[in-house]
């Protein structure tokens, strides 16, 4: 997964605009970056490493021009070297191309091009594209026709932008990988995601699969694959540019953890009628599902596990599937609603699962953060979590907002006996969460266990997905071993791992049978000398067996899951900070994974 930026019409500021855009897109991939500027000849600079390495390389060159493209890469084909960085060029250096996605037929195209005399300088799949364009130009095609001819030969997923020497235009196309235009009067931008140009404009046009865009000094045009003009809607993005800065926090992740109360208010705004004890699901209409299948990956899968429990509690059969497993063996769907949970709306595994369900005639709905994302456009229905942009690679505020949105969905689609209690819990949630964030002792606890050999997390019922999420966050940003378990499973094997070196974080909410059983599991680990940290609302006596307690206010257990998770987010954050990890950009990870 990579980030693309393009810009036309900012005169001498074009190069700075591209580099600024790349720094905003670095969350999409960060092992190398590059830019190409178009004039009579193309000039290009690319570098393995971070955007700062590219900046340094640029300071030793003199790139100029008023049309340019740039790229930040996360390797899929070939290691992160200067040669494998984008943009890629043809043999003559007249064409430069940036690409996000995977070209599945690149090997056969490359073999043909090599046999025809082309010389390749990288290991990437992308490099076939400039050589295909070069061939078409040599056959007499004009630059736009040459790019179209090259694109028509590609199989796989791509967002592509190309520039050709002597042509003051950017050509772009997409298939299964996002691209959005930004319109700013005189200037036009092109990017994988809005933050790349949000400092300059809030007017955007989302490209759809199969569309082709031309950006030049006279403006922009979108056409279909046959060259027929497509009328596009111009949308206005609703969040401010400051929302993509760090606002004084050391990391985006910490900022985003602290933004959760506001994100939750946005998610709930105008959707909850407290007087009537009802929710309004925008314009989703009456979906009344008889069954629900959730598909999702990573953190979103944990949200899906939580969502499936909510539907089951309301008497609707529901199951959560890992998206990457769903498509390989699609379960019988019947007339179930298939719900994708994906903050980005671009995760390839989740898109594949949703498409597999659609092929079998299922109705689909996506719970997502990104308006105009592929999932939002392809599904029958979209329900937005409204968390605002999330830049830190590790999901934080989007998870909380997913849980809130899934509560709204369940309330809106089912008849829950305790709708009023849930709504009360949701109404109190932003304020409760603010208190948890203000008063959390997670930093102190993190300091005590920075040297731990492994971290275990346990929870039952709705707190089980919270335990899984706590462990995922810990692994992702600290690079240390962490596992989440259903509390009752511990004694079926994992207990063998528990020692005095392995703190166990137990989420215990309420004082019902579930909570009491979890306290029993806590006693089991305490008896094996494991340090115990209880995340609890204090309704059981778990504190008697715990070395530390992280408190959450008493509230509905659904809301308590969000509160408990906030402590665990802070715990991972401060552990990673103490270990000096690259918190916003953990090694080997990307914000949205657009490959299967
Ligand atoms: C973990 C994380 C990932 C994502 C997963 C799905 O912090 O962010 O596990 O949750 O890659 O991403 P989306 O929600 O964009 O489909």
Burial of 361 (0-12, 13-18, 19+ CB in 10 A): exposed
CA 357 / ligand 1 centre spacing (Å): 20
Confidence of residue 116 (pLDDT cuts 50, 70, 90): very high
* Per-residue pLDDT at 502: 97
Q: Can you read off the two tokens belonging to residue 584? A: 């916003």
In this model, does residue 331 exceed pLDDT 80?
Answer: yes
Confidence of residue 244 (pLDDT cuts 50, 70, 90): confident
Query: Nearest 5°: phi and psi at 533?
Result: -115, 120
Mutate to test the pocket of ligand 1, among 303, 304, 395 (most ligand atoms within 8 A of CB): 395
- What does the pLDDT look like over 574-596, one tens digit per residue? 999 999 999 999 998 888 787 78
CA 396 / ligand 1 centre spacing (Å): 10
CA 52 / ligand 1 centre spacing (Å): 26
Rounded Cα distance between 391 and 255, Å, is 10
282 vs 111: which has the higher pLDDT: 111
Q: How far is CA 361 from the centre of its chain?
A: 27
* Per-residue pLDDT at 280: 84
**107-130 average pLDDT score:** 96
Strands 278-279 and 272-273: antiparallel
565 lines ligand 1 (CB under 6 A): no
343 lines ligand 1 (CB under 6 A): yes
**183-210 average pLDDT score:** 94
In this model, does residue 406 exceed pLDDT 90?
Answer: yes
Ligand 1 atom nearest the C-alpha of 296 is 16
Nearest Cα residue to 569 out of 360, 257, 317, 282:
257
Nearest CA to ligand 1 atom 3: 298
Q: Can you read off the two tokens belonging to residue 526? A: 């305490």
591 is catalytic: yes
Confidence of residue 29 (pLDDT cuts 50, 70, 90): low
* Per-residue pLDDT at 241: 76
E strands, 115-225, where? 156-164, 169-175, 180-184, 187-191, 203-206, 212-216, 219-223
Nearest Cα residue to 314 out of 446, 435, 411, 181:
411
395 lines ligand 1 (CB under 6 A): yes
Confidence of residue 1 (pLDDT cuts 50, 70, 90): low
Write down the mean pLDDT value for the chain.
94
In this model, does residue 386 exceed pLDDT 80?
Answer: yes
224 vs 280: which has the higher pLDDT: 224
CA 465 / ligand 1 centre spacing (Å): 14
The one catalytic residue among 2, 7, 267, 379: 2
Rounded Cα distance between 33 and 86, Å, is 6
366 lines ligand 1 (CB under 6 A): no
347 lines ligand 1 (CB under 6 A): yes
Edge-to-edge strand order for the sheet containing 548-551? 482-486, 455-459, 504-508, 532-536, 548-551
CA 79 / ligand 1 centre spacing (Å): 23
476 lines ligand 1 (CB under 6 A): yes
**257-285 average pLDDT score:** 87
* Per-residue pLDDT at 293: 98
Nearest CA to ligand 1 atom 13: 342
Q: Can you read off the two tokens belonging to residue 503? A: 């703190």
* Per-residue pLDDT at 8: 97
CA 171 / ligand 1 centre spacing (Å): 30
Percent of the chain with pLDDT over 70: 99
Most confident of 21-30, 175-184, 273-282: 175-184
In this model, does residue 358 exceed pLDDT 70?
Answer: yes
Rounded Cα distance between 121 and 90, Å, is 9
- The total number of residues written for the chain in this structure: 596
SS3 400: helix
């Amino acid at each position: 997964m990579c980030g693309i930026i393009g810009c036309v019409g900012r005169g001498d500021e074009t190069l700075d605009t591209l580099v600024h855009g790349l720094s905003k897109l670095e969350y999409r991939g960060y092992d190398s970056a590059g830019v190409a500027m178009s004039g009579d000849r193309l000039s290009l600079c690319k570098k393995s490493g971070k955007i700062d390495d590219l900046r340094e390389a640029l300071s030793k060159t003199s790139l100029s021009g008023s049309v340019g493209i740039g790229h930040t890469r996360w390797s899929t084909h070939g290691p992160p070297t200067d040669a494998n960085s984008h943009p890629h060029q043809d043999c003559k250096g007249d064409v430069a191309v940036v690409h996000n996605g995977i070209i599945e037929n690149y090997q056969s195209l490359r073999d043909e091009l090599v046999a025809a005399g082309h010389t390749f300088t990288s290991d990437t799949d992308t490099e076939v594209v400039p050589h295909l364009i070069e061939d078409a130009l040599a056959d007499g095609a004009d630059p736009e026709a040459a790019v179209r001819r090259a694109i028509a030969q590609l199989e796989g997923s791509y967002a592509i932008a190309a520039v050709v020497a002597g042509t003051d235009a950017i050509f772009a196309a997409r298939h299964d990988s996002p691209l959005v235009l930004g319109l700013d009067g005189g200037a036009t931008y092109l990017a994988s995601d809005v933050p790349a140009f949000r400092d300059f404009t809030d007017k955007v046009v989302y490209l759809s699969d199969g569309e082709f865009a031309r950006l030049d000094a006279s403006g922009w045009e979108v056409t279909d694959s046959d060259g027929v003009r497509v009328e596009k809607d111009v949308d206005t993005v609703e969040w401010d540019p400051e929302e993509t800065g760090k606002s004084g926090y050391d990391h985006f992740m910490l900022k985003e953890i602290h933004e959760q109360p506001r994100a939750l208010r946005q998610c709930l705004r105008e959707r909850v009628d407290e007087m009537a004890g009802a929710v309004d699901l925008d314009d989703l209409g009456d979906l009344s599902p008889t069954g629900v299948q959730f598909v999702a990956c990573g953190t979103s899968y944990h949200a899906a596990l939580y969502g499936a429990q909510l539907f089951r509690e309301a008497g609707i059969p529901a199951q959560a599937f890992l998206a990457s497993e769903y498509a390989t063996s699609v379960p019988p769907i019947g007339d179930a609603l298939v719900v994708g949970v994906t903050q980005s709306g671009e995760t390839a595994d989740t898109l594949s699962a949703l498409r597999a369900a659609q092929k079998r005639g299922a109705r689909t709905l996506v719970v997502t953060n990104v308006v105009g994302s592929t999932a939002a456009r392809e599904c029958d229905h979209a329900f937005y979590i409204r968390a605002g942009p999330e830049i830190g690679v590790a999901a934080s505020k989007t998870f909380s907002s997913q849980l809130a949105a899934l509560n709204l969905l369940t309330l809106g689609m089912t008849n829950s006996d305790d709708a009023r209690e849930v709504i009360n819990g949701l109404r109190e949630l932003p304020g409760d969460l603010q208190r948890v964030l203000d008063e959390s002792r997670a930093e102190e606890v993190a300091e005590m266990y920075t040297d731990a050999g492994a971290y275990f997390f346990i929870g039952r019922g709705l707190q089980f997905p919270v335990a899984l999420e706590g462990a995922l966050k810990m692994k992702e940003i600290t690079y240390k071993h962490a596992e989440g378990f259903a509390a009752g499973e511990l004694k079926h094997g994992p207990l063998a791992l528990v020692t005095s070196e392995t703190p166990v974080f137990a989420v215990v909410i309420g004082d019902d049978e579930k909570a009491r059983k979890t306290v029993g599991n806590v006693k089991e680990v305490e008896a094996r000398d494991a340090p115990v940290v209880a995340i609890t609302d204090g309704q059981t006596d778990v504190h008697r067996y715990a070395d530390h307690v992280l408190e959450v206010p008493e509230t509905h257990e659904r809301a308590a899951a969000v509160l408990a998770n906030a402590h665990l987010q802070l715990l991972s954050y401060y552990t990673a900070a103490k270990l000096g990890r690259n918190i916003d950009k953990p090694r080997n990870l990307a914000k949205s994974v657009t490959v299967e």
